[in-house]
Amino acid sequence: MPRIDVHTFYADCLKQHGATAEGLHYQSASTQQARFNVLSELLPEAVTTMTLVDVGCGFGDFHQFLQQHGRAPRRYVGIDLHEHMVEVARERTGAEILLGDVLTDPLPAADLYLCSGAMNTLTRDETRQFIRRCYQAARIGYIFNLLHGNDRSETFNYRQPAEIEAWAEELGARCRIIDGYLHQDFTAALMRPDAV
C-alpha cells in the first residue's frame, strides 16, 4: 500500500506553486538543477544516440535540461501518473509523454531509464519493485536519485546507499553512487555489466 495518496500530494503542491520545480515538490529550482547535474554526469557519452525513458517526468524539465546542454537523447519518452503533469510535459517538450504507473503498467523497452524524485513517496517494497522493473526494461541501465537517511518519515522514502548496492548485486548490475552534492540526497546508476 502506498505511503501517501500521490495524486492529493501533488495536487496540493501544484495548486500552491503551479508548473514549477516547487510544484513538483523540489525545494527549489536550484536543488532540481543540482540533481539534474548529477544524473547527467552518470549518463553514457552516447546518450544522444539512445532512447531514454524518464519515469516520473513531471513537466518534462529533465528533457529541457538535456536539450540546453546538448545531450538530448535520440528519443525521449516521459512517463507520469499525474494527468496535469503529462499534459504540461507534452506541451513543453513535444515529446512522447505517457500517462502510466511504473509499478503496475507495461513499460516501454529503452536503452536507459532515469528517475528524479518520483520514488520519494514509495514504501521500501515499492522502491525495490520500481527499481527492478525499470532496470529490467532498460537495455543499458537505470539512473535515479533517492533521499538519503533512515526511513522514519510517514511521507518520504529514505534509503541508504548500501541498500541500493545490495539490490544492484541481486540484479547483477554494476552500481555507481554519487553522494554529498545535496543534504540527504544521493544518486545511483545501475548498469548492465555488458553495456557501454
Task: Please give the Cα distance from 190 to 125 (Å, whole number).
Answer: 18
Length of the chain: 196
How far is residue 113's CA from residue 51's CA, in Å, rounded to a whole number? 9
pTM (predicted TM-score): 0.87
User: Domains of the chain (ranges plus CATH)?
Assistant: 30-191 (3.40.50.150)
Going residue by residue through the chain (196 aa), what tens digit of pLDDT does each one get?
A: 455 556 565 555 556 656 655 545 555 578 889 999 999 999 999 999 999 999 999 999 999 999 999 999 999 999 999 898 899 999 999 999 999 999 999 999 999 999 998 998 899 999 999 999 999 999 999 999 998 878 776 767 789 999 999 999 999 999 999 999 988 899 999 999 988 5
